[in-house]
Amino acid sequence: MYELDESKYLYLFILLPILVLIFLWIQVWKRKKQREFGDTELLNVLSPEKSRFKPSLKFGILLLGLAMLILGLVNPKIGTKVEKVKREGIDIVFAVDVSKSMLAEDVAPNRLEKSKQLVSQIINNLGSDRIGIIAYSGSAFPVLPITTDYNIAKMFLQSMNPGMISSQGSNLDEAIELTEKYFEGSGNTSKLLIMVTDGEDHSEAAESAAEQARKKGIKIITIGVGTTSGGPIPIKNNGVTESYHIDKSTGEKVITKLRPEALQSIAKAAKGGYINGNNTKEVLDFMRKSLNNIQKTEFEATEMANFQSQFQWFLGFGFFLLILDVFLLERKTKWVQRLDLFNEKKEK
């Protein structure tokens, strides 16, 4: 098993095909200039020691060396075994609203992206807790089951969008009910549901579902994203706003607003809390205090143990190839020349 410690550096591999295109263009340009200068056969006679193969070989070694350096920056880690480890924490499910109202840009860059940022920052501040993710709008959809792998959780989080659920609305009660299924089998572990939403279009059944969740030992914290003054819902094409959602009954732009009262009532029904999500620092402080007040429980987690960094091997081999490329001359190698791989002697 392996993991990539700094996967962001994988984007550097885009440079390699660009270098290949530049190299091919230079070779074409050189041949064109040689033809303009004089007869190609005569030039080969005048420079008998120049290899036609070595420049490509040197470039190939350079590319491989750069690829090794990039892999060194990525730092692949190899795990040697799977083992059970003891952890102490709580089980947390993040329920993220992905309805179209979350595309409103009354908070930057929009409500949904702000929600992802908040959840990601909360995950970064967790210790040994297990987490799961649910997406919901008109219905609820399981995104990630309970896990201790925070990197995977953040990867799934970034992929969430309004298109993943066809039915629209904000069905908070169904999200709460799905969370209860997530917590089945958790035993005596403390359970927390964190709902990130604008609270719009929620059904009255949400408060009843929150009360049922409380009876099952699930605490709910709601985070409101958006503004009470609201904003329109943009319709974009390739990142450019073309129009806005229109109310078919009135013909006017739909203005979606944050409904803090609804979120406060849900949190109250589940003996939890509510926080406005527009200020990230305030949210993190609120979550830190809330988590400190929740009893931690010891549980077993399966982990890949003894992950070892492998960057030194890639960096070492990469620098070796780059040094080799410097000392590798473009002249023909004597012993290769004697092999006459390209039948050059017969051609003469």
Spatial separation of the C-alpha atoms in residues 214 and 208, rounded to whole Å: 10
Mean of pLDDT values over 284-305: 80
- What is the model's pLDDT at position 348? 46
- What is the model's pLDDT at position 106? 93
Residues 6+ apart with CB under 8 A from 20: 63
pLDDT over 50 at 342, yes or no: no
Of the candidates 222, 218, 243, 219, the one whose C-alpha atom is nearest the C-alpha of residue 233 is 243
Average pLDDT, the chain: 83
Confidence band of 284 (pLDDT split at 50, 70, 90): very high
Spatial separation of the C-alpha atoms in residues 153 and 169, rounded to whole Å: 25
Residue spans in the chain of domains classed CATH 3.40.50.410: 88-302
In CATH, 88-302 is 3.40.50.410 = yes
Residues 167-220 have pLDDT tens digits of: 766 678 888 989 988 888 777 788 999 999 998 866 678 888 999 999 999 999
| Range with lowest mean pLDDT among 149-158, 186-195, 278-287 | 186-195
- What is the model's pLDDT at position 274? 96
Count the Cβ atoms, other than its own, within 10 Å of residue 323. 11
Spatial separation of the C-alpha atoms in residues 91 and 190, rounded to whole Å: 6
Spatial separation of the C-alpha atoms in residues 224 and 262, rounded to whole Å: 10
Per the model's pLDDT, the better-predicted residue between 102 and 138 turns out to be 102
Report residue 146 as tokens: 């309970």
Per the model's pLDDT, the better-predicted residue between 121 and 46 turns out to be 121
